[in-house]
Structure 1
C-alpha cells in the first residue's frame, strides 16, 4: 500500500477523449476521473461521420464494457498494473470559483471537480488533463495542477529540419564514383554517424558536388538524379529529393513538410500523374478544418458548393500541371481522361470513407490538421500496392487542440523515420515567388 501513495489522480477533459478514445489506458497505475459533465458532452458528439464522432462512439463502447455501480463509488480497476476509473458527479463551486467564473459551463464544472479532488486529497497529486490551453490556465489560476495530453506527442519537433544532411569537404573521388557508377559502399565515406534509411545527402567536394540517398538495404550511398515528373521540374535539391522519394515504388509511405509555396502538393500530384499507369487510382484529399470559428453551415449553397472553397487549392495545383502542356497534347488530355473515369479523384478526406485503397496513389494534403489516431486509421487501410503521401506545414495548424508536437503528421514522421519503406523531406526554400517567400518568413 505504501507504493500506492506515489500514484496520481488524473481528471480528463472531453477533448482528451475526442483526441484518443483509448486514453484511459495510457496513465499506467494512476487513477482516472471522468466528470459526469464530460459524458454529457460526449453524448452530443456520438452522431456524425467526423473523426471526433468516431472517437466519442468508441469511448462510449469501452465505457459500456466496464460499467458498474463501483464506477461511481470508489472506481473500477482498469486492469493489471493499471489504476481505477471513476465517474465523478458534479461538485459545488467554491467561493474562489464563484468570484472568478460567473458562467455555469462544462469547463467550469470540470474545474470544480478537479478542485474538489485536490482539496480532498492534499497528499496525492491531482492533475487536470486537457488539450485546451485556456482551461489549463484557468486550472493553474486556482492552484490546480494541469497539463496537456502527452501520450502521442513527439519529443523533438526539430527532427523534421534534419531530413537532409549537408557534408562539406567530401572526398572528390567518391563523388566521381557516385557520378560514374551510381553508388558506393557507405562504409567508404568515412562518415562516423549511421544514417537512417533513405536519408538524403548533399555531398560537397572541392571540385564538385552530388546528391545522394542512403540505401539501408544495400548499405550504399546511391546517386539522386534530377528527374522531371509530368512536366514539373525540381528547382532545388529539396524538390529533387522529394521527387526521388515520390517516384520510388519501394517507398510506400512518404511525408513532405514545409512552409507554403515550397511545392509539396504540386510535386506529390505530379509524381502521381507520372506513375498513373502503375496505379488503378490517384486520390488527392485534404481534411476540412473550418477557419475563424465558422462551420461549413455558414457557407452558402449545397454540400458540393460548401466544400468547394476547401478543395480549390488542390484543383489549382492540378491546373499548374495541366498548363505545363499544350491543351492538345496527350499529357493534357490524359488528365481530363483520368478525371472523367474517376481514376483521379480530388475530394475531402471524410469522403474517402469506404473507398478501396488497394493499388492506389493516395495523397493527403494539410495532414498537420489530423490527429495521430486519424493518421493511423488512414495508413492501416492501405491495401496491396498502395502508396501513401502526407504533406503539410507544421507551422500552420488550424485545429485548436493540436500543436507541432501532437499533430498526426509529426507523430507519424517521428515513428516511421527509421523504417525502410518510409522517406521524409522537409522543404525550406519557397518557389512561388520572392514576395510569397518573404511573406511566409516575416508575416
Structure 2
C-alpha cells in the first residue's frame, strides 16, 4: 500500500485516521485482495490512504471519504464472514449504494417475495447477481413485482443482463416454463449484406448479446440442452407474430429499434402466467429516417397504466468500464447544446 507522502498538504483533517480491527486474519487477506488490489481500488476511488498494520487497517484522509471507506471495508468484511466472496463488482456496489445491508432477495423458493429492506439477490446456476446501483435495485424489484416492466437508459446499465438473470432465476425455480429472448434484427448503422448459412446462422449474430448473458448464468451443456428442447428460445422480433406467450419469461431487447406496429404486436403476445420485460436506449435508434420508434410510442401510451413499471437509468448507473459513463455524459451534453 502507498504511504502518506511527506509533501502532501498537512492539515488537522489530513492527519486524522480511522483504525479498523478485523479479528480473522484469513478473511482480512481476502478483504485486501491479491497484492492489496481491493485496498488500492478504494484508495483510487475515495482519495484516501489505507495502511495495513497486523490485523488492523488504518484509513487516512478527509472525514467524509474516510468514513465512507471505513463503511465499505466493514460491509465487505461482513460479506466474507457470511461465506461470500468479495470481487471488484462488490466494491463498486458498496461504493454506489452506501454501506452494509442485510442480504435478502431472490433465492430458491422465495424469489417472488418483496424486498422491504436489504440487498436484492438473483441466484442463477453459475453465479449470484446483485444490483450495483439504486436504479438497478428498483428495476429488479419491479421485474418480480410487475407482469410488464420497461428498462430504459444508456448502454452499460445492466438492463438486459439483469432481466435475463431474473428470467433464469424464475425458470430454475419453476415459476415459468420457458424463457423467450428477442431482438429486432436491425443493423447498427452499417450494411452487412446477405449472411451465409441457414436461418439460425443468419440471425445468431444479431442475438449474440443474449447468448452472452445466458452463458453467464447457466452451464454450457445445460444451456445447449434447454435451447434444443425449446425451453429457452432466442429469436428475432419478427418471429413473434401470431404467438401467445404463456407461462414464459419474455425479454425484448433493443426495443428502440422496433417500429410502433412491431411493439404493439409484441406487447399483445403476453399470455397467462408470463412476465415481459422491454429494454432499450432512446439514444441508439437504428431505424430508417422518419420511422417512429416503438419504444417511444409505448412509453407515451402506456405510462398511465398502473400495472406497468417504467424504470429509467442514467450515466450514473453504468457498470461497465468507468470510461463508458464519461463517454455517455459527453454525448448527452453535446445533444443538449443548442
Aligned to 2:132: 235
1:285 corresponds to 2:162: no
CA offset digits 1:343-384 (Å, max 9, x no partner): 111121122334431121110000001122221111122222
Change (3 A) 1:361 1:371: same
Highest CA radius of gyration, 1 or 2? 1
Note the alpha carbon deviations across 1:46-69, whole angstroms, 9 max, x for none.
xxxxxxxxxxxxxxxxxxxxxxxx
- 1:333 and 1:237, CA in 2 relative to 1: closer, same or farther beyond 3 A? farther
Displacement of 1:227 in angstroms is 1.4
Per the alignment, residue 306 of structure 1 pairs with 202
TM-score (norm 1): 0.44
Matched, 1:274 2:162: no
- The TM-score, its normalising length taken from structure 2, stands at 0.57
**TM-fit CA distance, 1:275:** 0.8
* Aligned 8 A contact 1:369 1:402 in 2: no
Structure 1 residues 402 and 269: CA distance shift in structure 2, 3 A: farther
Q: Any gaps of 5 or more consecutive residues in structure 1?
A: 1-207, 210-221
Match of 1:365 in 2: 253
Distance 1:333 1:305 in 2: 20
> How many Å separate the matches in 2 of 1:440 and 1:321?
28
Alignment of 1:328-367 (within 5 A): 335-367=223-255
For residue 236 of structure 1, report the CA deviation from its aligned partner.
0.7
- What is the aligned-residue RMSD (CA, Å)? 2.8
1:438 counterpart = 2:330: no
Equivalent positions of 1:207-286 (< 5 A) are: 223=116, 225-229=118-122, 230=124, 231-248=128-145, 251-276=146-171, 277-286=174-183
Alignment length (residue pairs): 213
Distance 1:393 1:338, change over 3 A: same
**Which runs of 5 or more structure 2 residues have no equivalent in the other structure?**
1-99, 102-114, 332-338
CA drift of 1:256 comes to 0.3
2:311 aligns with: 425
Does the aligned pair in 2 maintain the 1:362–1:387 contact within 8 Å?
yes
Q: Does structure 2 conserve the Cα–Cα contact (< 8 Å) formed by 1:243 and 1:267? A: yes
Instruction: State which of 169, 175, 191 in structure 2 corresponds to 1:294.
Output: 191
